[in-house]
Chains A and B, each alone.
Chain A
Amino acid sequence: MSAPRKPGSPPYRAATGVLALGAGLLLFLPLAGLDRFFLDILTVGFLLAAFAGSWDIVGGLAGQVSLGHALFFGIATYACALLTSLAGWPFPAAAAAALLLCAGAGAAVGALAARLTGPFVALFTLALGELAHEAVLGQTFFSPRGGYSWGGEGGIPVALPWRDLSPWASYYGALAFLLLSTGLMLRIARSERGLFWAAISGSELTARASGVDVSRYKTEAFLIGGLLAGAAGVGFAAHVGRATAADLSLELSFQAATFAAIGGRGTVAGPVAAALLLHVLFQGSGLGPAARVLLYASALLLVLRFFPSGIAGTLRERARARRMGGGGTP
């Protein structure tokens, strides 16, 4: 794993430039006359991008590959839905409670997973995610108003303080969230904590030998990653107005891992950008189902074949190799 870069080094400036350009483009786009559909696609794309970024905190920076990250996303959407629709809480209170819950769940999963390494982390998180998914699929909740049940595969509505929110409001809300959370994640990545994560990710044994409190930093990674995934889930609940079992599904967890692999695990900006671009490209272009799936799967294989560290990761490796004066990559 790579060590965090110092601000001021050339690739850092370049990356910041690209990010600023992207943010500018996204801020400007709605003014260029995008329709409701495209605004909706981008809004969901922003939330998925933040979710992919939160995966990268755990799976990339700290090196704890998780295959159950949807757990935190789903806990947040279900908390929002249950607390507003069944308990009658106002949405902001439910959202705050959902975030607390996700942080708690993150800390708990982290504490339990801290003793595990490598594929065992992946298996443990996979099993937890699947367990939660199975639980909500079979669970029904009584709906107080209609005399029928909610829950299960159909999900639970989120009672929102607004209805038919302007698509612009959702767009800018989600964009602001994405920019803030990405900024935050990049800051953490370059902080002292990020250094310790990189050390653990590189070799846990070495990190432990040099006196790093491995358990503590692993747990923190799950806590922060879980909290940010939960924040994306709250945004999703607010935008879609529903919590469904798919929010906890293995498919969603795999999707986050996939975006991270394509973008470049451990770069934060890579997974975020990959999630946004892939979502917009594959859901927003009106491709037929067969073409969409085939292109997506082939893109996955080809990108990883030629950019095995993901696009941002491989470019960074090449830039570093060039700086070293070597020219070619090993």
Chain B
Amino acid sequence: MDPAGSAVSHPVAQLLLDGIFTGSSYALIAAGLVLILGVVKVVNLSHGAFFTLGAYTAFVLSARGVDSPAAAALLAAVIAFAFGVFLGKSFINPVRSHPFSVAVGSLGFAILFEQAAQMLWGPHPVSLTLGPPLASAGGLVLRRWGVVSFGVSVALLGGLSLLLSSRLGLPLKLIAEEEEIAGSVGMDVEKIRYLTFAAASSAAAVAGALLAPATAITPTMGRAPLLLSLIVVIASGMETVRATFLLAVGLGLLSNLSAYFISPGWSYGTLLAGICILLVLRPSGLAASMGRRDY
């Protein structure tokens, strides 16, 4: 066996790179949730189900011979958008004045979807071919899914940030911040809300479709991404998109470094402990300047 055959010769540099990639995948999953928490102002626990939907879309396409991630992402986005409009119109909007019931009801939708997925595609894990890494240069492995996560999450979150600061995004900003005014100037607030919800669900499905080749696809695969995205979005303070991205990458680095240097069994534990400490130190999340906002 060739001891130098391994492509990895700079473990710490590789670790940092992988940490950024892991964090980008958290950001990618969380991108839609930022929008829902910011504009619709509800905690959506069906986000993981849309992620799963995206992954199975990629699987079904691949089984039919279409192996293009872009096609999978596009189809997943369209399907998730339709489901999102339905869920937003028929459940989220009417129940919205009871945020707790929205959270539990969206969990019900996730359970419903998990069972449907198990019945449609079977309970056994399925898998897609991952393909070789994008490049293995200079002793570093540039993982394909990592580059995609980084690029797409930056594009999604950056786009969202731009949208909110532009004229086009004014209705969203108004609804997010001054609900009554938005209604009184004649905006169709309800419509903008369910469209926002649907767009955010699409984003989760796109994340699922893009990340599917790197994992195993199972009906319950959305549970861990849901938790991670909730952690990232709430702990970042639900205020600024940049804080969300930074926190995601920070947590990705934290879990990679702690898995390598402390113990792999504690990578998730360290992340959770980090969140607890963050909340004890900054009760309104990472981004909030203390006491600025009372929820």
Of B97, B107, B284, which is within 8 A of A258 by CB?
Answer: B107
- Interface pair B109/A297, CB less than 8 Å apart: yes
Which chain B residues numbered 258 to 280 have a C-beta less than 8 Å away from chain A? 265-266, 268-269, 272-273, 275-276, 279-280
Given A297-B109, A309-B98, answer yes or no on A117-B295 (Cβ-Cβ < 8 Å).
yes
Find out whether the CB atom of A300 lies under 8 angstroms from the CB atom of B111.
Answer: yes
Number of interface residues of B (CB under 8 A): 45
Considering only residues 183-242 of chain B, those with a C-beta below 8 Å from chain A are 227, 230-231, 234-235, 238
Contact of A123 among B98, B109, B231 (CB under 8 A): B231
Q: Are A308 and B227 in contact (CB under 8 A)?
A: no
Q: Indicate whether B105 reaches chain A with its CB closer than 8 angstroms.
A: yes
Residue of B nearest to A294 (CB): B115
Q: Are A293 and B115 in contact (CB under 8 A)?
A: yes
Specify the chain A residue showing the minimal Cβ separation from B294: A205
- Asked whether B139 is an interface residue with its Cβ less than 8 Å from the other chain, the reply is no
Most central of B43, B111, B285 by chain A CB within 10 Å: B111
Report the separation of the CA atoms of residues A131 and B271 in the bound assembly, to the nearest whole angstrom: 9
Binds A, one of B1-9, B20-28, B87-95: B87-95
Contacts between the two chains (Cβ within 8 Å), count: 127
Tell me, rounded to whole Å, the shortest Cβ–Cβ distance linking B277 to chain A.
10
Which A115-136 residues have C-beta < 8 A from chain B?
115-120, 122-124, 126-128, 130-131, 134-135
Question: In the assembled complex, which residues on chain B have CB atoms less than 8 Å from the CB atom of A120?
Answer: 234, 279, 283-285, 295
Tell me if B100 is interfacial: C-beta within 8 Å of chain A. Answer: yes
Dominant secondary structure of chain B at its interface with chain A: helix
- A297 contacts B265, CB within 8 Å? no
Which of A130, A135, A262, A265: most chain B CB closer than 10 A? A130
Q: Is the CB of A126 within 8 A of B269?
A: no
- Knowing A123-B234, A205-B294, A300-B111, the reply to whether A130 touches B265 (Cβ < 8 A) is no
Q: Does A93 contact B (CB under 8 A)?
A: no
Note all chain B residues with C-beta closer than 8 A to A290. 115, 118-119
Which of B101, B105, B116, B234 interacts with A119 by CB under 8 Å? Answer: B234
Taking the closest CB of chain B, its distance from the CB of A81, in whole angstroms, is 21
Give every chain B residue within 8 A of A138 (Cβ-Cβ): 265
**Minimal beta-carbon separation of A246 from chain B (angstroms):** 14
Q: In the complex, which residues 289-314 of chain A have their Cβ closer than 8 Å to any Cβ of chain B?
A: 290, 293-294, 296-301, 304-305, 308-310
Cβ of A79 within 8 Å of any chain B Cβ, yes or no, is no
**Contact yes or no, A301 B91, CB < 8 A:** yes
Whether A128 touches B112, Cβ cut-off 8 Å, given contacts A254-B107, A258-B104, A308-B101, is no
Question: Which A residue sits closest to B285, measured CB to CB?
Answer: A120
Min CB distance A295 to B, Å, is 10
Which residues of the partner chain B approach A301 to less than 8 Å between Cβ atoms?
91, 105, 108-109, 112
Q: Is A231 an interface residue (CB 8 A)?
A: no
For A304, list chain B residues within 8 Å (CB).
91, 95, 98, 101-102, 104-105, 108
Q: Are B272 and A131 in contact (CB under 8 A)?
A: yes
C-alpha spacing A310/B100, complex, angstroms: 10
A65-B42 Cα distance, complex, nearest whole Å: 13
Per the 8 Å Cβ criterion, residues 110-140 of B in contact with A are 111-112, 114-116, 118-119
14 A-B contact pairs sorted by A residue (CB < 8 Å): A59-B100, A112-B276, A118-B295, A124-B279, A127-B275, A131-B269, A131-B272, A134-B265, A138-B265, A257-B100, A261-B101, A294-B116, A304-B102, A305-B95
Known contacts A128-B276, A205-B294, A254-B107; 14 further A-B pairs (Cβ under 8 A): A117-B284, A119-B37, A119-B295, A120-B234, A120-B295, A122-B234, A124-B276, A130-B227, A131-B276, A258-B104, A297-B108, A300-B108, A301-B109, A305-B94
Interface residues of B, Cβ cutoff 8 Å to A: 37, 43, 90-91, 94-95, 97-98, 100-105, 107-109, 111-112, 114-116, 118-119, 227, 230-231, 234-235, 238, 265-266, 268-269, 272-273, 275-276, 279-280, 283-285, 294-295
Q: Which 10 pairs of residues, A with B, have the shortest CB-CB distance?
A: A300-B108, A118-B295, A297-B112, A261-B104, A297-B111, A304-B105, A308-B98, A293-B115, A115-B283, A123-B234
